[in-house]
Amino acid sequence: YKLIKDAINYYREAAQSLKETFLEDQSVRLRTKGVGVITKKEALELSAVGPTARSTGIAKDVRQDYPYEAYADLKVKAITPDIYTHEKPKGDVYDATVVRVLEVEQSVNILDAIIDNLPEGPIVTEPNLTKLLLKLKRAKGEGIGRAEAPRGEVIHYTRLEGTENLHAWRARAPTYANVPTWIPMFRDQEIADIPVIAASIDPCIACMDRVTLVDIKTKKETIVTGEDLHRMSIEKTKKIRGAR
């Protein structure tokens, strides 16, 4: 118990450090405010989830709207940027960063509440794993599971037909819902801001070492490597700092 509490206190201090580094640093503000904007209307139309949706002011969180397991007792509330900025959410990279940092603090508070209110009793309802597996093999039916993952709502569909294996299983990860939000986010932005904007939705996709940019007017294609994007992003940050 003490070791868990010590870990919670450690991460509580780390959360405060994240606030100072990502929310109060002037260079970070200059590189993220007004960059990669998505409006609340666009987020709703594109069915954005998680911090990406909440950065626009959409107070949507599965743990709040459809509480599962112990979340109904914890009364989790959706985090929106205005809690920290005291301004109307703009849906830019800074607002998305605010939501993610505050959710680190929220997670620490949830862990603290769980430890303080953890009831006594068996860890599993069926301690006999052989018996449990036998029940699962004979089970029939289908179901949908929804949970609030760090990137947003994740959905799993399963179907059992009384055999040893799953008959069907489908998953919808939050990245699938959030990738379309890049369309309005990248509109009229600088190439140097691509890494910052892309990272703002915390995408879970295969690593890429290059990207092809197409000029919609001339149809000219330009290949930009990961090194190029990194270099341009750093150069813009240095340029902004030099202009202060």
> Is residue 15 scored above 50 in pLDDT?
yes
The answer to whether residues 93 and 57 touch, using CB atoms and an 8 Å cutoff, is no
Per-residue tokens: 89: 């959410």
Per-residue tokens: 34: 């007004």
CA dist 179 and 89 (Å) reads 20
| 208-219 mean pLDDT | 77
CA dist 183 and 125 (Å) reads 47
| Domain layout of the chain by residue ranges | 2-117+176-243, 130-175
Per-residue tokens: 24: 């109060």
* pLDDT, tens only, 166-190: 899 998 889 989 999 999 999 999 9
Residue 193, exposed/middle/buried by CB under 10 A (0-12, 13-18, 19+)?
buried
The pLDDT score that the predictor gives to residue 14 is 94
For 62-178, where are the alpha helices, taking DSSP H only? Answer: 62-65, 71-74, 82-85, 93-116, 129-138, 174-178
Banded model confidence at residue 244, pLDDT cuts 50, 70, 90: low
